[in-house]
A and B are shown apart, each in its own frame.
Chain A
């Protein structure tokens, strides 16, 4: 008789997300994520500058098509992300707990993240009406100003939360038709990779969101300086790093969006001005007359 053996669980390989695919970092490097007791939870990809450049290429390619998707469709896709996240709620709670978040707090963070996606999904076909204008010019012209996405946004997600900070920065960028490349929290990277899987199952076109894991010290400057990125968002840089981001960003007059000291779980951290941050105002003139 065979001895009764305990089933061996299948551990997950945490990879990065570029162009709708889950490659390992091209660099082949990793860093070990450990729990409080020093046990290895996962070997996380230590993404490289080359990974970032590849991600920007994918984001640039995907952005025009995503921006052309109707506001209704973008809203439904964001809603779909929330649905998929809800369905995998237990997994995200478990990952947060593995990374040191208490059970109740982990549950609350996942719930808030799901609700936040619903919040931004609802804005998809509304922010334009809030922020647009028909301008009463003095000459005989019809003149109106609308918002258009800035383009490719690089996001240095907050380090102090594994999920809510990530979701709160991705949602407003993509609901407005931008594509983005995100560097996950360095200390809590697991949920970011699992969130990429959620995105992948939610009809978000490949390349619209790209998620890297890796070291801030290695990638921050690249996120700020890349000449084909239109805006850079940072959430918890110290003063020196913030200055370095701004200097590097000036090479192509990037929009620099500072979101430091925001308490992402709070209701005050959700508002349509986060969408507007990565939008451009375009004004169009046409004569009236025959």
Chain B
């Protein structure tokens, strides 16, 4: 079938003017210490590391490099705070968590700008998604604090103790909120380690925690890299580990926790199939594909990184997708017109580029939009691979970048078996106008979150988490409480 050539072509005649978010109001200190026991304290060994702006490669600040000694102090502070925090009247505990939500809302724009500076994500996303959702998460779980008796019928819910929480760099503040909010509401105290490339909003959150008047030691934040995280995982004074990150590291953590009585929840990798049936609303589906894989530069564990499109509409969908990709603006994360910001780090860019090479070596056909990218910083144009097969590495492995692998299918059962032919099971998507088909797909895709005729939607009330090697446990909603409670008869 010939594709009608009905694309609007403006050439270079219609450029967007720059629309940068103002950053004169934000406050980033030159140096951040660790937040332990309610105070900012220098790391014991006095070492710091740089955090840079991935869009400019310039240094934003220096943050403390926490070692085992600092983790030990943080756990001690959390343990000390636990006895009174866990026994505090639940409604009062909830009010502290509400305060965090309110202060985050008040300072939302500052947080959004810093999130984009430190992590490279477009301001439109940090402003409209990350920060509002983070505040909403605190607000949602705050209200659970004095209602836990209603959450688990026949059971008495009790807090676990000190929660060690290790979060990734793709949604820095939002992941901190996902971890801290339910932990505090349930009466636990926490030691949180932000990702090494994106520590700033977590340190700003430490300021919020202090401003909210939380008792010292209820929230402790220790910055650092993998060794710091390992110190938290291995610390005998920690009762629960919550980790979001790669399946490889999750596996190491699960093994490290063997033989201990520590509870754990793991939110790990994904390779979601986004399934487009011929009867879908194609233009909406194309928007869904774009949102599914290019949201947050594809640094999303639940990204729709595999497109499965029914053969009869494949040419049409791929052409429309390419046309749409050509309109995406890659560049300054602080510009309100930017669609795709900076890749989070040089190391991640290297990983993504290695997969681009792998895909081509495997015989796949690569397409990238031709948009300009800045000279400095870490960038990757939106990319898709066609002509891939199920066993290709770009189909099986998580790339964590703006790279989409496209496969076709003829029948419903072929779509389903391809979708489920993965060790992951975090998310999935389906696009069709037939309700019965939606339910048949959503019931049979082995994944914890399934979006039908939409993609990449999140909400504090909505449980999130994976099947199979995508993790253990859920975060969000009533089901997310379970991760921070022991249920007694």
Contacts and interface: CB of A to CB of B under 8 A. Distances in A.
Interface of A: 130, 133, 135-139, 141, 143, 145, 148, 150-151, 230, 239-240, 242-247, 249-253, 255, 268, 271-273, 280-287
B447 A253 contact: no
Contacts of B114: none
A284 B450 contact: yes
B479 interface: yes
Contact of A284 (B247, B452, B478, B479): B452
Nearest to A143: B462
Contact of A250 (B155, B251, B465, B468): B251
B258 A247 contact: yes
Nearest to A268: B489
Which one of A130, A136, A286 has the greatest number of beta carbons of chain B within 10 Å? Answer: A286
Contact of A285 (B153, B450, B479): B450
A255 B470 CA distance: 11
Contact of A281 (B155, B451, B461, B465): B465
Nearest to A286: B452
Interface in B99-156: 136, 153-155
A64 to B, nearest CB: 8
Interface string B455-489: 00101011111011111101001110000000101
B442 A284 contact: yes
A139 B459 CA distance: 8
A282 B443 CA distance: 9
B468 A282 contact: no
B454 A253 contact: no
Contact of A271 (B154, B259, B465, B467): B154
Interface residues of B, number: 46
B449 interface: yes
A247 B489 CA distance: 29
Contacts of B153: 130
Interface of B: 136, 153-155, 247, 250-251, 254-255, 257-259, 266, 268, 423, 438, 442-443, 446-454, 457, 459, 461-465, 467-472, 474, 477-479, 487, 489
9 contacts: A138-B459, A246-B254, A246-B255, A247-B255, A249-B254, A250-B255, A273-B487, A281-B448, A283-B477
A283 B464 contact: yes
Q: Is the interface of A mostly helix, strand, loop or mixed?
A: mixed
A281 B463 CA distance: 8
A287 B454 contact: yes
A138 B459 CA distance: 7
A240 B237 CA distance: 20
Contacts of B467: 150, 280, 282
Contacts of B257: 246
Which residue, A148, A240, A250, A271, has most C-beta atoms of chain B within 10 A? A250
Contacts of B266: 253
A150 B423 CA distance: 14
B136 A138 contact: yes
Contacts of A253: 247, 250-251, 254, 266, 268, 468-472
A282 B136 CA distance: 22
Contacts of B454: 141, 285-287
B463 A250 contact: no
Max count, chain A CB within 10 A of own CB: residue among B251, B423, B446, B471 = B446
Nearest to A142: B452
Contact of B461 (A136, A242, A282): A136
A151 B438 CA distance: 22
A252 B136 contact: no
Contact of B477 (A135, A139, A230, A285): A135
Nearest to B252: A250
A128 B154 CA distance: 15
Given A130-B153, A247-B255, A282-B442, 19 more contacts: A133-B478, A135-B461, A137-B457, A137-B461, A138-B459, A148-B443, A243-B258, A251-B251, A253-B247, A253-B266, A253-B469, A253-B470, A255-B472, A281-B465, A282-B448, A283-B477, A285-B449, A286-B454, A287-B454
